[in-house]
Amino acid sequence: MENSIKTRRDFIRFLGYSSLTLSQISLLPSCTPKTKKENKFPNTQDDVVLADGLSYYPIISWGDQINKKEVFGFNNDFIALHSLSADKLIMWVNHEYVNPVFASGMERTKANIDIEKSLVGGSLLELRKQDGKWKFVQKSTFNRGVRAHTKIPFANGVKIKGSQIVEGTLGNCAGGKTPWGTFLSGEENYDSFYGERDLQTGEVNTKVSYLKWESIYPQNLPEHYGWVVEIDPFSGKAQKHTNLGRFAHESATTIISKDNKCVVYSGDDKNDQFIYKFISESHKNLKKGTLYVAQLETGKWLPLDLEKSPKLKTYFKSQIDVLTYARKAGEILGATKLHRPEDIEINPITKDVFISLTNQKKKGDFHGSILKISETDANHSSLTFKHETFIAGGENSGFSCPDNMVFDKNGNLWLVNDITGNAIGKAPYTAFGNNGLFIIPAKGPDAGKAIQVGSAPVEAEFTGLCFDPAGETLFVSVQHPGELTKDKNKPTSTWPTGKMPKPTVIAITGPLLEKYTR
């Protein structure tokens, strides 16, 4: 946090609650969990450990059957909900990538890769509330996968490398939900599947392709991936939006601006990459609009558009090239290079935009921070803004490497972190233990403090934070437990089965949660 924020009064004003007097603030309930020692945080247990007043139950795990032909995919991530009634939901869950050690096999055969293609993308699920708990409905007609083999068109009839309809979606990390009720899924590390092409030379770099899918499916080109995918919750029909640019999408967070336009914020989760926002011409769809990139030094959003930014014409021949290589376009315009921009969330009360900057170890930033952007006049279609560091990670703040976030309806910020598996417990992360779940209260005596309320299993991270409509349940993805396993017969984690680790969606409930969210 910046040095100018020295007192609790300053912090309350920083959050936008300046109408509260200190006497009013002192009357707000304190929801602080017990001490770290009593709560066993940090810890290295191979389990989901929660603060007193919280408990969890599983919703669905990798390999569980969702219909007659499909199972729940691997490495569940982003979660979004469409409410059908008070006790009935459609849930969308991203499946980011696979670990061949568990999912298929290390040998790059067509059979193994086909298994992997069936396990990434996303899943639509029906949930119903019974006896106070949300439960997956196995025989629902809503249950279906949108996977790496699903045929998906580019929106607006766009063709890339001659293709208007491409095979599948993959690398699906964070996302969003549109005001009209569809889900948005961001394709992040797409180069891990089919490599990446150099625009100038035309050559594909396959060295960055960890899974080597191009060895079996060379017709699936890198340019077909790295987009935001829109999914209809009822039919599963999907389309890829080129208007939102191509990069490692960590989010696609939407809001309607004061002038009635849909605005979509995204971070590019790579070192020295940028923050973007797309301003649609409509509040009902994403068909037309302009993609912008942030320049923090001037507080301006710069248009990634050949006509609005003629400088781009010196490098790009077409607007689709600008969007396909948005990183290069942002670099040409002088966008601000940041430390791995990840999730983006909007405070429901102040309308400020919060961005997780996870870390950049090569530049000495091991713990990351959370950036706050305040759009001019709190209008999200504004092209100017102010920015501040909301809070910095490190031992003083109690967390490191911020990742996914969610605000509850009261403006409290719930946060999870992502210390990579091979760094957990090692310097400079020895003080933090396993990855955790934190809350930063907006009000009360603990305002501004990062309080740990949960801890993930060995080598896992929490992702996909999402509240149910009543705010009584926090859905969380437990991703890649035991990710460093080399031999599946000797896993480094056995959560949750006691034998083999399985990525799983869980539901967190309890009086401590409700004290913050009610």
**pLDDT tens profile 212-241:** 999 999 999 999 999 999 999 999 999 999
3-state secondary structure 87-125: CEEEEEEEECCCCHHHHCCCCCCHHHHHHHHCCCEEEEE
Q: Is 315 exposed, middle or buried (0-12, 13-18, 19+ CB in 10 A)?
A: middle
CA–CA dist 427, 401 (Å, integer) = 14
Q: What is the pLDDT of residue 88?
A: 98
Q: How many other CB atoms sit within 10 Å of the CB of residue 298?
A: 12
Collect all residues with Cβ–Cβ distance below 8 Å to 490 and sequence separation of at least 6. Answer: none
pLDDT in tens, 412-429: 999 999 999 999 999 999
State yes or no: cis peptide before 428, omega within 30 of 0: yes
Q: Mark the ranges of the chain whose per-residue pLDDT is less than 70.
A: 1-39
Task: Report residue 101 as tokens.
Answer: 């050690």
CB 411 within 8 A of CB 442: yes
Q: Which of 232, 239, 198 is nearest to 321 (CA)?
A: 198
pLDDT of residue 199: 87
Could you tell me the pTM of the whole model? 0.93
Tell me which H or E stretch contains 25. Answer: helix 22-27
Q: How many CA atoms lie within 13 A of 423 on its CB side?
A: 16
**H helix intervals, 118-268:** 191-194
Q: What is the rounded CA–CA span in Å between residue 415 and residue 363? A: 24
Distance, CA of 15 to CA of 447 (rounded, Å): 9
